[in-house]
Amino acid sequence: MKLSDKTIGILQNFSKINQNILIKQGKKLKTMSIMKNILAEADVTEDFDKDFGIYDLNEFLTVLSLGNQADLDFSNDNHVTINGGNSKIKYFYSDPNVLVVPPENFNAPECDVRFALSGSTIENVQKAASVMQLPDVIIAPDNGKITIKVTDVKNPTSNDYTETLDTYDGPDFNFHLKTENLKMIPGDYDISASSQMNISNWSGLLASYWIAMEADT
């Protein structure tokens, strides 16, 4: 099996959420952050024929890059063989019991708020948060439009970055997220959220993320 560039890109993104991953049989990849406040999943074209755990996903992806157009052989029960040209690498699976993995079943809450964010807006928010060292994102309607503000809610004299978005005529809300949790693959996202459960879903072209919102939402 050869992993597509798309799948490798998804795994690279998931490694930013959690260095562990348990790849399950089938065509879906899932991961969950150590703090259990981010859950991500993506559909891939590869059909994995067994479950296997990787303890250090960054290392595994770097090892893959050592092989020229690496071909993965999963026939052994305790390791994957990575064949690349004249090279061969034996990479052992991790015990699933030492990994932080998503629950088998996740009951998605009913969402009462829906809106969309463009990839450029998300990129601007992430850049502003990084440059200005701001830990919080507040999303709320204001005069019939959605605004997204990057700030520090604990600092009353905090600098901030605000962007005004599309017209909005849904229920009122005030969502508070940590900028460090916005670890999505770059792109446009449809957001749906449950104001009662303090959780938001970010659905993009390549992956979907459930991200916990702060308690003051």
CB count in 10 Å sphere of residue 200: 23
Does the global pTM surpass 0.85?
yes
Element (H, E) at 10: helix 5-17
Low-confidence ranges of the chain (pLDDT < 50): none
Q: Would you state the pLDDT for residue 217?
A: 55
Q: How far is Cα 115 from Cα 125, in angstroms, rounded to an integer?
A: 16
Q: How far is Cα 29 from Cα 27, in angstroms, rounded to an integer?
A: 7
Helices (H), 24-168: 57-66, 119-132
CB 89 within 8 A of CB 66: yes
Q: Would you state the pLDDT for residue 31?
A: 97
The CATH code that applies to domain 5-98 is: 3.70.10.10
| Side chain identity at residue 165, one-letter code | L
* Three-state DSSP state, 12: helix
Distances (CA, A) of 89 to 15, 54, 61, 67, 85: 21, 15, 13, 8, 11
CB count in 10 Å sphere of residue 22: 19
Q: What is the pLDDT of residues 122-173, one digit of tens each?
A: 999 999 999 999 999 999 999 899 999 999 999 999 999 999 998 888 888 9
CB 140 within 8 A of CB 175: yes
Domain 5-98 identical in fold to domain 113-212: yes
Strand 189-194 relative to strand 145-151, pairing: unpaired
The CATH code that applies to domain 113-212 is: 3.70.10.10
Quote the crossing angle between the two packed helices 5-17 and 57-66, to the nearest 10°: 150
Q: In the chain, what are the domain boundaries?
A: 5-98, 113-212
